[in-house]
Structures are given as C-alpha cells and as structure tokens.
Homo-oligomer: A and B are copies of this chain.
Amino acid sequence: MSTENKPDVVVVGSVAFDSVQTSKASHEKLLGGSASYTSVASALFAQTGIVGVVGEDFPQDYVAVFETAGIDMQGLQREKGKTFHWSGVYEEDMNNRRTNCTDLNVFADFNPVIPDAYRTSHYLCLENIAPALQGHVLDQMEKPKFTVLDTMDLWINTARDDLMGVIERVDLLTVNEHEARHLTGKGSLLKAAKKILEMGPKYALIKKGEHGAFLLSKDDILIVPAWPLIEVADPTGAGDTFAGGFIGTLAALGGVNRENLLQALVNATVTAAYTCEAFSVDRLRQIDRAELDARALEFRRMLP
C-alpha cells in the first residue's frame, strides 16, 4: 500500500454492539465500542484508520457508518463468531450505570495487527484493551509522534504490571476521575495526575464527565469545563469520543504545543457533547466540520 493511504491517526480498541437502556429509551445492538466512538470523532478532523475486530454478524449498515465517516478499515478484522456485545442500564441522573452483560465473543481473542501502511502513522490512540495487547501494538509501530493511552479498572486490578509497562511508553494517559484515583491511590485529582506523570507520560488527561477535564504536564495545566448540555440522551462513548476529538485535532493541527492542546480540548469537549445528544454515534455522524467549528467557537466564547 502506498504511503498516501497512511492515516494521520490510528485508533485501536473495541468495536461492539451496545444495548443501552436509559430512563427514557432503550436500544438493542447499537454500533458501539471504544474504537468506534474514537475513530468517528477523530475522522471529523484528520484521516483516521481503525484497528479492531468484529464477528460475522457485524452488519453492512455499521460498516457503512465508518465508510461514510471516511475511516480507513484495513485494520478492521472480521473473525468467525459473534461481535463483542455490551449491555448496560443508566440510572436516572445518567452519572451511574450498571453493566448487564459483557459478551466478549471474537474480542476475547483479539490480536491487533497493524496494517503496514499504518506503521509510520504519527498519531496513535490506544483505547481500552488489555495492556499486553496495547504493548504489542506499540511494538508494531515505528515510534509515533504522539501516543494516547486509555485504560480501565479491570486492567488496574488484574494486569497492573503490564499496564505500568505500557504507561511508561506513551505520551499521554487519559483516564476518568475514578480510574485516576484507583490507579494512583490519590484522592485529589491533581495529586493523581501528578502521580501519573511520575509513571512516565508527559501528559495526564483527567476526564470528569459533566464537569469537564484537565490536562496536566510537568509545568502547566489546561482546564476545560464541559459543554452545557440541557439533556443527555446517552453518555455511552463520551469519553472515547473525547479522546478521538482530542487526537484528531492534534493531528490536523500538525503538532503538540500549548495552543494546539487548548484547541484539542475544546474540540474534544464539543464532539463528546454531540455523542451525549443521541444513542450510539447517531448525532456525531450527522454533523460536519463546519457545524462543529461553529460550536467550538461558541464554546470558547462562554469561557473567560
């Protein structure tokens, strides 16, 4: 494959069916998974390739969603068996959810293979998969300019050594406030973020859901509140979308500096809000770059 087909951003993670119930609605087998949200968000800003696995039951309609978003699918494996299926129920306030089932199916044996054309991509987003597999992806890449790593409680509990090994190899670790406290043992989020920097990354990006996010580096802190949403339809994937909007923006702007990081936080916030406005990536895939840029500008104007 020619290097012209090299995506700016490579996203590795899960592609899933999500069955989601909120107090207002319930939907079965929606397009979900961390890599889906992250790549659809990233593709709004930059050429994006997705690396993941689906089963034989993964419908053409969902493939078409990636296609329409302009996402490169060379790294999307199709294996015998069923697609990963997650099912959960949100409480009334949308801040807490209960998982009903996590049927890993083909995702249980996921072995991420990075297509040759992706190996020299500059921006890499390692969404939440086993830390050993995240390390395996890093082994296949030729030193990306900027790597973002996400993780979850499961790996903090069950694969801490592997996780620490991969954390020290990346530029930025992104976790939510609960994971930050769990990983570091620090109650204060600022202390937790400082502790994350001691683990190796140059940046710690702490996501606080409806309360925004902050990005800590050795001698700087950038803070962004959340976009003011009057109604949340479904928050599933908001954090993954945030990561996608963030890394896509950095890739589009062509480098990591203070101004670009601030814009990346703004675009991440706005894309994550779109995700919350509907189930799955339904709202996110309706918008175009002009609409997003307008909202990003409107958002900056709300801030001092």
Tell me the A residues contacting B by CB distance below 8 Å: 92-93, 187-188, 190-191, 208, 211-212, 214, 221-225, 228-231, 262-263, 265-266, 299-300, 302-304
Contact = CB atoms under 8 A, between A and B. Distances in A.
A304 B228 contact: no
Nearest to A212: B225
Nearest to A265: B304
Given A221-B228, A221-B302, A299-B304, 11 more contacts: A93-B187, A190-B229, A208-B211, A212-B212, A212-B225, A222-B302, A223-B225, A223-B302, A223-B303, A225-B225, A300-B304
Nearest to A299: B304
A216 to B, nearest CB: 8
Contact of A303 (B93, B211, B304): B304
29 contacts: A92-B187, A188-B231, A190-B228, A190-B229, A190-B230, A191-B230, A208-B211, A211-B211, A211-B212, A212-B212, A214-B225, A214-B228, A221-B228, A221-B302, A222-B302, A222-B303, A222-B304, A223-B225, A223-B228, A223-B303, A224-B225, A224-B303, A224-B304, A262-B304, A263-B304, A265-B304, A299-B304, A300-B304, A303-B303
A1 to B, nearest CB: 37
Contact of A304 (B93, B187, B231, B266): B266
A225 to B, nearest CB: 5
A266 B223 CA distance: 13
A17 B144 CA distance: 59
Contacts of A222: 302-304
A76 to B, nearest CB: 33
Contacts of A266: 304
A265 B303 CA distance: 10
A304 B92 CA distance: 32
A300 B224 CA distance: 11
A265 B304 CA distance: 8
A207 to B, nearest CB: 13
A191 B190 CA distance: 30
A221 B300 CA distance: 11
